[in-house]
Amino acid sequence: MNSLLNAPNKPPHEGVIDVSTFVSALQKILPVGAVILSKEGQRPFECDGLTVYQQLPLVTAMPETVDQVQAILRLSHLHGVPLVPRGAGTGLCAGAMPHAEGLLLVLTKLNQIVHVNHKTCTATVQPGVRNLALTEAVAPFGLYYAPDPSSQIACTIGGNVAENSGGVHCLKYGLTVNNLLQVTMVTIEGEIMTLGGAGLDEPGMDLLSLMVGSEGLLGVVVEAKVKLLPRAPRVQVLVAAYDTVTAAGDAVAALIGQGIIPAGLEMMDHLAISAAEDFVKVGYPTDAQALLICELDGTDAEVEEQLLLVCECFKQHGAHHIRIAKDAAEAAALWQGRKAAFPAVGRISPDYYCMDGTIPRSQVGYVLTRISELSQFYGLRVANVFHAGDGNLHPLILFDASIDGELEQAELLGGDILTLCVDVGGTITGEHGVGLEKMPQMPYQFGDAELAQFRRLKAAFDSEELLNPGKGIPTLKYCQEYRSLQHG
Amino acid sequence: MGDLTVQLEQQIQHAYATKTPLKIRGGNTKASLGRETSGEAMDMADHSGVISYSATELVVRARAGTKISLLNDLLAEQHQRLPFEPPSFAGEATIGGTVAANQTGASRPWFGGVKDSLLGLGLINGYGEVMQFGGQVMKNVAGFDVTRLQCGAMGSLGLITDVSIKVLPEFKAGHTLTFDMTIEAALEAMLKWANLSLPITGMSHFKGLLYVRLQGGAGGVASASTFLGGEKLASKAAEIFWQAIREGSFLQPRHDQTLWRWSGASDTLANTVPNTSLINWAGAERWVLTEALDTPLEGLVQYQGGDRLAEVYGAISAPQQALQQRIKHAFDPHGILNAGRLYAWM
């Protein structure tokens, strides 16, 4: 990977960590088996969903209580040991990759749904609760948890808070930040702090929102109170096929511009459609250059009203095939193709690299054309699957890591796509986070003053840079080296 | 009207060099909120104007001094609206002040607060550095969320120079139902109805009546209205009622009164917040008007009136106080920006 990223990120205590004292103190805090030291035992934790970045930690700890988490943070702080928090490890930016000289704090054992209040439509959960497990647990009350990232079967609420996860329904119902009322976090000093509250807007600066998406750099979330939504009485799914991605992009912009906000509005390009259809065989039109998947929800009356408008708008913009799901089974099948798009692409290529830029909707046609040109330039195929409604692209770069240099080419192509997103007024990451992966693009999106402000903010929480060091926010030195490389 | 960024930057740089406290002021409509402070006036009203507005992107970007009323008019031309329904305070409130003071209207539980619509902003910190955070796109997780951190910070972390906001289409139809109910019955009803997937955009209780606002498509509103029952309020009366809720005009404290705000879970029993005058946000926000000399009400914010040199937002835990002081220092090392407006110690 990038040579800058491989530089050892030494803790500020400059190698004075007394490993044996630290580990034996850790073993006194946790039960037998909750401290993992062996290479074999730690191997499953060496990476997150972005598997090209791997690193074994010094030690892995799996606490079961908040008290243990507090004690571990105090101990790390005392000994100056870097600490990387982690949930299920489904992230896609190497944000949870361990630190070679640090402790990996695995929070999956804190997996209790503490309380569900169906009257106020809220739930209090520990960070290791899986996203889908929460939705399943509240289903008997007719409720669900809105953010639904593709990894929802495995990913945890703690990880969702750290990355501000979205999903296919965040167009209408928002990201994690829009569905959170309160978090309890532990600071690097081991202090417990509650941010937000049971109400909707607490007085003072919005520290709760600051914690969301902070990628484990500011504190460790040990409890979250989330909003739940009532299930809509009716959900209607339809797909529309187009001859060009530009026409499909225009249809999306027109629909949103008309004031219709579907619950979900996704787009797939030809390569993604073919791969998905080959994999799950749900009857997608494989001759289409672009496919829109649209979900409407609400009362019967609301859905009927919207369905007419959506079909009319899609046709006006050149849809040559519209399929309206007749029942829940057909709706699920139409979604299945989209949800299986990543593994489907995995079947047609030895490896793929998923990008995550967001752009203004009006730029979709231009950006997809540019991506296609870049794809030809690098000689690597790109399949596009994305949250069209909010302009969040997920180009999947197909490559073969066993071919010398192809991974590097894929990374360069990915980097070009991200800077393209910034150039058209967008961002390098819509929902996956910066982690280790997108550090090179941070100085492209932000100037020195903003980056310095981020670092001062980080220092206000963690002056010794022990929490997830080397991720999220590049250091001044890193930026200087990056820029000299770009200009050299 | 225009771009005064350079002058504002220079004024803060000078204040930083001379350690001069600054008092930020837009339309001067929120002088009664927060703590009373002093400082050299930093006027934002002339730093105004819409920078860009794309109806199809659903994004408007405007300088901080731009009036809410102007934004409302501009959006209405394209049949769009600000999702968080902020007060315009006789047309003088500005978008910068609205973000800093976190001002949201009756639709808060359903369409979110300021932070839920805020996509990005320009900020000048206490060093006098001009910065941009967030952007104009719907999803953006690069870097810390300095944008939303400003909501409710009352200008204590930086001078907001411009904001980018997600807008939404106007509702196609809507009306308001009223129900003759005690506070207790209204709280029960609001809890029950908020649990259903209905096109509700406001539920408030005032003087023995529960007001339920339905907005959305004509069919959805009509079927919800039939389901809920109640009395249908004439449209003019409904408009006046929700305007009064938004502008806070039902409970303007006289000089010898204090207005207290309670925020909490919507299933909190009525007697937990005695002498409630008005309930908003389906029970999650409650207001109490008292005589000024009354002792502070536990768990309530001293919203307007009373001793404005007191800690009007109440106390927070020692570790969090220390953290907020460090955050303040990270943005404003000399403490020149709206010092003491949030807390005496900040």
Q: Which residues of A touch B217 (CB under 8 A)?
A: 301-302, 305-306
Q: What is the DSSP string of B252-274?
A: ---TTEEEEEEE--TT--GGGST
Helix (H, G, I), strand (E, B) or coil at B330: helix
Contact yes or no for B150/B142 (Cβ under 8 A): no
Q: What is the mean pLDDT of residues A425-451?
A: 96
CA A254 – CA A306 distance, rounded (Å): 14
Residue A354, H or E segment: strand A351-354
Rounded distance between C-alpha atoms, residue A395 and residue A375, angstroms? 10
Alpha helices in chain B (DSSP H): 5-18, 68-77, 95-100, 108-111, 114-117, 146-149, 183-194, 218-228, 235-247, 318-331
Q: Does A301 touch chain B (CB under 8 A)?
A: yes
**CA torsion angle B320 B326 B330 B331 (round to 10):** 60
More confident residue, B206 or A362: B206
With bands split at pLDDT 50, 70 and 90, how would you rate the model's confidence at A11?
very low
CA–CA separation, A253 and A390 (whole Å): 10
* Cα B193–Cα A206–Cα B112 angle in degrees, nearest 5: 30
**What would the pLDDT profile of A204-224 be if each residue is shown by its tens digit?**
999 999 999 999 999 999 999
Cβ-defined contact of A230 to B196 (cutoff 8 Å): yes
Q: Is the pLDDT reported for residue A144 higher than 50?
A: yes
Q: At residue A95, does pLDDT exceed 80? A: yes
Closest chain A residue by Cα to residue B268? A120
Confidence of residue A306 (pLDDT cuts 50, 70, 90): very high
Query: Using CB atoms, which residue from B129, B263, B317 is nearest to A200?
Result: B263
Which residue of B lies nearest to A300 if distances are taken between CA atoms?
B220
Q: Is A50 exposed, middle or buried (0-12, 13-18, 19+ CB in 10 A)?
A: buried
Residue A339 CB-half CA count within 13 A: 17
Note the pLDDT of residue A487. 58
Instruction: Write the residue in A261, A390, A450 that is nearest to B131 by C-beta.
Output: A450
From the number of C-beta atoms within 10 Å of its C-beta (0-12, 13-18, 19+), residue B19 rates as exposed
Token representation of residue B258: 């204090």
SS3 call for A117: strand
The residue among A69, A202, A197 whose CA lies nearest residue A127 is: A69
Residues of B in contact with A121 (CB under 8 A): 194-195
Closest residue in chain A to residue B188, using alpha carbons only: A119
pLDDT (average), residues A148-166: 95
A3 pLDDT tier (thresholds 50, 70, 90): very low
- For residue B59, list chain A residues with Cβ-Cβ distance below 8 A: 360
pLDDT tens digits, one per residue of B259-297: 999 999 999 999 999 999 999 999 999 999 998 766 777
The rounded mean pLDDT for chain B is 95
Helix (H) or strand (E) holding A309: helix A300-316
In this predicted model, what pLDDT tens digit does every residue of A347-400 receive, in sequence order? Answer: 999 999 999 999 998 898 899 999 999 999 999 999 999 899 899 999 999 999
User: Nearest residue on chain B to A205, judged by CA atoms?
Assistant: B153
Are B259 and B277 in contact by the 8 Å Cβ rule? The answer is no
E-assigned strand segments in A212-305: 220-227, 229-230, 234-242, 264-269, 290-298
Pairwise pLDDT comparison (B298 vs B91), residue with the higher score:
B91
Check pLDDT > 60 for residue A4.
no
> Taking CA atoms, what residue in B is nearest to A260?
B169
Residue-wise pLDDT for A172-213, tens only, equals: 999 999 999 999 999 999 999 999 999 999 999 999 999 999
Q: Given A301, A429, A449, which is nearest B141 (Cβ)? A: A429
The full set of domains in chain B, from first to last, is 5-169 (3.30.465.10), 171-311 (no CATH)
Inter-axis angle of helices A66-79 and A19-29, nearest 10: 170
Helices A448-461 and B318-331, interaxial angle, to 10°?
160
CB-nearest partner of A210 from B149, B219, B320: B149
The pLDDT tens digits for B35-55 are 999 999 999 999 999 999 998
Residue A242 and residue A251 in contact, taking contact as beta carbons nearer than 8 Å = yes
- Chain A positions touching B151 (Cβ under 8 A) are 205-206, 209
Question: Contacts of residue B329 in chain A, CB cutoff 8 Å?
Answer: 460
Residue pair A471/A82 in contact (Cβ under 8 Å)? The answer is: no
Residue that is written with structure tokens 């600490």 in the block: A83
Higher-scoring residue by pLDDT: B70, A14: B70
Mean pLDDT of B194-217: 95
Residue A457 at interface with chain B, using a CB cutoff of 8 Å: yes
Assess whether pLDDT exceeds 90 at residue B82. yes
- Say how far apart CA A322 and CA A312 lie, in whole Å: 10
Model confidence at A266: pLDDT above 90: yes
Q: What is the mean pLDDT of residues A4-29?
A: 69
Chain B residues whose beta carbon lies within 8 Å of the beta carbon of residue A253: 56-57
The candidate with the shortest Cα–Cα distance to B58, out of B171, B166, B172, B170, is: B166
The C-alpha angle B33, B34, B38, rounded to 5 degrees, equals 105
Q: How confident is the model at residue A5 (pLDDT cuts 50, 70, 90)?
A: very low
Nearest to A430 among B116, B140, B152 (CB): B140
Beta-carbon-side half-sphere exposure of residue A316 (alpha carbons within 13 Å)? 13
Q: Which two tokens stand for residue A480?
A: 């200087």
Sheet containing strand A122-125, edge to edge, reads A113-117, A122-125, A220-227, A180-186, A192-196
B85 in the Ramachandran plot: left (φ > 0), alpha (ψ -120 to 50) or beta? left
Structure confidence at residue A483 as a pLDDT band (50, 70, 90):
confident
Tell me the nearest-neighbour CA distance from A198 into chain B, angstroms: 5
The pLDDT of residue A14 is: 52
| Lowest pLDDT segment from A1-5, A118-122, B86-90 | A1-5
Residues of chain B in contact with residue A302, where contact means CB-CB under 8 angstroms, are: 199, 216-217, 219-220
A259: nearest CA partner in chain B: B169
- Where does the pLDDT of residue A284 fall: very low under 50, low under 70, confident under 90, or very high at 90 and above? very high
Give me the phi and psi of B288, to 5 degrees please: -130, 130
Q: Closest-CA residue in chain B for A227?
A: B109
Sorting pLDDT into bands at 50, 70 and 90, what band is B242? very high
Among the partner residues B55, B113, B223, nearest to A299 by beta-carbon distance? B223
Say how many CB pairs under 8 Å bridge A and B.
269
Query: Quick one: pLDDT at residue A301?
Result: 86
CA atoms within 13 A on the CB side of B56: 13
Q: What is the DSSP string of A17-60?
A: --HHHHHHHHHHHS-TTSEE-SHHHHGGGS--S-TTS----SEE
**pTM listed for this prediction:** 0.96
pLDDT band at B29 (very low <50, low <70, confident <90, very high): very high
Q: What is the pLDDT of residue A8?
A: 39
Quick check: A364 contacting B, CB < 8 Å? no
Residue A467 carries which side chain, given as an amino acid letter?
L
Q: How confident is the model at residue A1 (pLDDT cuts 50, 70, 90)?
A: very low
Do B57 and A200 count as a contact with CB atoms less than 8 A apart? no
Residues of chain B contacting A206 with CB distance shorter than 8 Å: 102, 115, 148-153
Task: Say how many C-beta atoms besides its own lie within 10 A of residue A191's C-beta.
Answer: 18
The pLDDT tens digits of the residues spanning B139-178 come to: 999 999 999 999 999 999 999 999 999 999 999 999 999 9
Residues of chain A in contact with residue B200, where contact means CB-CB under 8 angstroms, are none
Confidence of residue A15 (pLDDT cuts 50, 70, 90): low
- H or E stretch including A324? strand A321-324
Considering only CB atoms, which chain A residues are within 8 Å of B194? 121
Facing B264 at nearest CB: one of A199, A425, A429: A199
pLDDT of residue B343: 97
Single-letter code of the amino acid located at B137: V
| pLDDT recorded at residue B157 | 98
pLDDT of res. B68? 98
Specify the pLDDT at position B295.
72
Between chains, do A177 and B197 touch, taking CB under 8 Å as contact? no
Q: CA triplet B223, B220, B174: central angle to 5 degrees?
A: 100
For residue A255, the model assigns a pLDDT of 93
DSSP string, B146-192: HHHHTTTSTTSS-EEEEEEEE-EEPPSEEEEEEEE--HHHHHHHHHH
Residue A2's pLDDT band (boundaries 50, 70, 90)?
Answer: very low
Asked if pLDDT for residue A68 goes beyond 90, the answer is yes
Of B143, B116, B165, nearest to A428 by C-alpha is B143
